[in-house]
Each structure stands twice: as structure tokens, then as C-alpha cells.
Amino acid sequence: MIKAVNIHKSFGNLEVLKGIDVEIEKGEIVSIVGASGAGKSTLLHIMGTLDKADKGEVVVQDVKVNSLSEKQLSLFRNRHIGFVFQFHHLLPEFTALENVCIPAFIAKTPRSEAVAKAKELLGFLNLSDRLDHKPSELSGGEQQRVAVARALINEPDVILADEPSGNLDSVSSVELHNLFFSLRDTFRQTFVIVTHNRELADMADRKLTIKDGIIHKQDANKQSSSVKKAIS
């Protein structure tokens, strides 16, 4: 699904990533943990084509994204990668339904098809009664679920989540964590999640720990991995 090879990234004189190698399989949920400033989000953004490595190669679905032009990269990202951030980034002037539809409209999906798909996703996320509500009328957990639906609308190959539960209370965090696994089981989605939440990190099929600019260790969750194989 995703292969990152020898990824290096510096900001000025600060070398953040010092030769990262990562492979993500289809249907896998992988968490990335480490101290603040370890480069977790930087790596996620590079894998998601939102940033470029100084050195190294990223391959997504057998496509070498480094070789794509900016226009090609934008189209590829829209079609193949979904994002969920700590701050949901919903557009305040649009309803939940409209926010979810936006990536589909960018992909030139017919309006009727986009709306139907958005309603289906919001229904799956128990938000059918919130279709016409604007973000300010939704709770934090509801806003984040709308953001998840938006990430899923184009049926991307992988969802990249950066501290997705960082602004949620404990109850909403647990609901969001369980939602990711439900989505994986239902839609065979692949997730890469940067998080400080130990519970979410430990639930993943694999937990990658970044330290001193490299993958310091990998921990596999055998029980979670068996679930992944069952739906493959």
C-alpha cells in the first residue's frame, strides 16, 4: 500500500528524519508514536504527499509519487489518500453534508452520486440527523466524524490521521478509536495514525516508535493482526 525508503528531512540545521524505512500493508492499522518533535507528523505528511523528503522515495499503490508533477500529485492525493487531522478543518459556512461532498466535487463526481455517497457515510457514522447542521452546531466528536466521512468520500486507498483524538474528550476518543477499526472491518480501509494516545496506539496492528530520527522499534499486536488477516 505504502512504501517509504530512506526518508530524510531537515528543517534548517535540524535533521528530523534520518533514514526512515516503512512499509504499510493493505487493510493494516499502523500507529506511529514518539516524543514531541520526533518527526511523526513530518513522516505522515511525506507519506501523504503533503510534504517532500530531502532524500528518499515514497511509493503509494505502486506509484512513485516523487516523480509526479504538482498537478498530478494533487489529483493522486484526492483520489487515493484521505486525511483526518487533530483540527477537523471543516468549512464553517457549509453543512455537514456539504463538507463531506467537497472532495468528491473536486474529483468531478456527479453531484447526485456524491450526495448519495455522503449520506451513506454519514448514516454509517450515526449522523443522519445532522446532515444540515453546520460545524458550530455539532459537538467535537460529531465534527470529527464528519471529517472522517469527508476523508472516506472518494474511497481512498489509505487514511492518514494526525492526532485525530487530540481535541476530543475521553468518551469521544474511545468512540473514534473504535470507529477506525469498524471502518477497517467494513470497508477494508488502511490507516496510519500518529498519536500520543497510548490506548489507540496499542490497539493498532503495529506500533512504530520514532526516536532520534529513525524507527527505533516496531511492536506487533497479534490479536489485531489476526483480525486484519480475516478480512483480507
The pTM score is: 0.81
CATH number, domain containing residue 139: 3.40.50.300
Please check whether residue 5 lies inside any domain of the structure: no
Would you state the pLDDT for residue 217? 66
Write the pLDDT tens digit of every residue in 154-176.
888 888 988 877 777 777 777 77
Task: Answer yes or no: is pLDDT of 225 > 70.
Answer: no
User: Percent of the chain beyond pLDDT 70?
Assistant: 94
Please check whether residue 62 lies inside any domain of the structure: no
Please check whether residue 6 lies inside any domain of the structure: no
Domains held by the chain: number: 1
Domain ranges, residue 142: 26-38+68-231
Average pLDDT over residues 16-42: 88
Write the pLDDT tens digit of every residue in 67-78.
888 888 888 888
Please check whether residue 219 lies inside any domain of the structure: yes
Helices (H), 83-128: 96-106, 111-124
Task: Answer yes or no: is pLDDT of 11 > 60.
Answer: yes
Closest-CA residue to 103 (of 87, 121, 86): 121
Contacts of 141 (CB under 8 A, 6+ apart): 168, 169, 171, 172, 175, 176
Task: Answer yes or no: is pLDDT of 133 > 50.
Answer: yes
User: How many C-beta atoms surround the C-beta of residue 105 within 10 A?
Assistant: 14
